[in-house]
Every structure is written in C-alpha cells, then in structure tokens.
Amino acid sequence: MLFGIDSLYFWLAVIIISVAVEAFTLDLCAIWFAAGGVAALVAASCGAGATPQLLLFAVLSAVMLLLLRPFCRRFLKTGAQPTNADRIIGQTAVVSEPIDNLRETGAVRVLGKEWTARSADGGTIAAGTLVTVAEIRGVKAIVREKTEINREKE
C-alpha cells in the first residue's frame, strides 16, 4: 500500500497521469516519470515493498530525465520553426511608399512582395530609396537605409 492506495493502482495512476501530461505539453518532461512508474509497477507486482518501489521510481525517473532528455530533444528539435518571412532579413528592398514611423506609413518591395515597413532608427525614408531589411516585427519589415559604403559592397 502506498499512501493508503493499493500500490498497483497507485503506479497505474502515475503512468496514466504522466502520459497525459506529456501528451498535452510535448516537451519531454513527464514521459520519464511514466517510465519510472512502469518500473515501480513491475516491482510492486513482484512483491517489493513501498520503499524499494519509491526509490526505483525516483532514481529511474531522475536518471532518464537527466541523461535521455537532452539526447532526445536534439533529435526532435522542438524549438521555433523559421518561416518563409525570415528569408527577407538582410535583403535589399526598394521603398514603394515613403516610410514615416510617426504617421505609421510606409511600404517596401522585397523579393517580389509588398511589405508594410517602419524605419529602424525612427527617421523618414523617401520612396525609391534602397534599404536593407533588419528584422521583422509582427507583419512589418524594419528597415535601415543603405549607405554609399553598403552599396559599393554589392
């Protein structure tokens, strides 16, 4: 008996809850406790006492969490996914509508698409000016005016 509950039912509940948490988070944080619960469930079904069951659960879960999680995360790559919009960063664009951050106006044409644009330094940029896309904030391209030095490098 663990915590007043038959140990088989207790470990079955731990396994189910751990798998459910993992299914909702998909962060490889709870599945290791399900594995520890399986080991403790096997120990309980073999007649082990409460202390060995708890130790087996704690040790196996901790070891798997610390050793296997980084290995698995590297192969699953659950980080942020770059979008197609990221490819315009660093590209040269032409200002198609004068950029004025105070009036919240401005647009650029880059890679054949029209983007709402804002100036990175807060200044105004005239139509027809060549700019470089510095970053994307939401649906706006943040641009910097190209200098003569930058134009020579192209």
What is the percent of the chain with per-residue pLDDT over 70, rounded to a whole number? 87
Collect all residues with Cβ–Cβ distance below 8 Å to 109 and sequence separation of at least 6. Answer: 93, 94, 96, 115
> Looking at residues 47-65, what average pLDDT do you find?
90
In angstroms, the CA 145 to CA 125 distance is 7
Output the average pLDDT for the chain. Answer: 84
> Looking at residues 8-30, what average pLDDT do you find?
87
The string of pLDDT tens digits covering residues 132-154 is 999 988 889 999 998 744 444 45
Indicate the pTM of the whole model. Answer: 0.48
Radius of gyration from C-alpha coordinates of the chain: 28
Output the six-digit token pair for 14.
């731990």
46: left (phi over 0), alpha (psi -120 to 50) or beta: alpha
Instruction: Say yes or no to pLDDT of 2 above 70.
Output: no
pLDDT greater at residue 7 or residue 131: 131
In angstroms, the CA 73 to CA 149 distance is 43
Please report, to the nearest 10 degrees, the dihedral formed by the alpha carbons of residues 58, 59, 61, 66 taken in order: 130
pLDDT category at 4 given cuts 50, 70, 90 is: low
The string of pLDDT tens digits covering residues 59-111 is 999 998 888 877 777 776 655 566 667 788 888 999 999 999 999 999 999 98
- What is the pLDDT at residue 149? 43
Decide: 134 and 125 in contact? Cβ < 8 Å: no
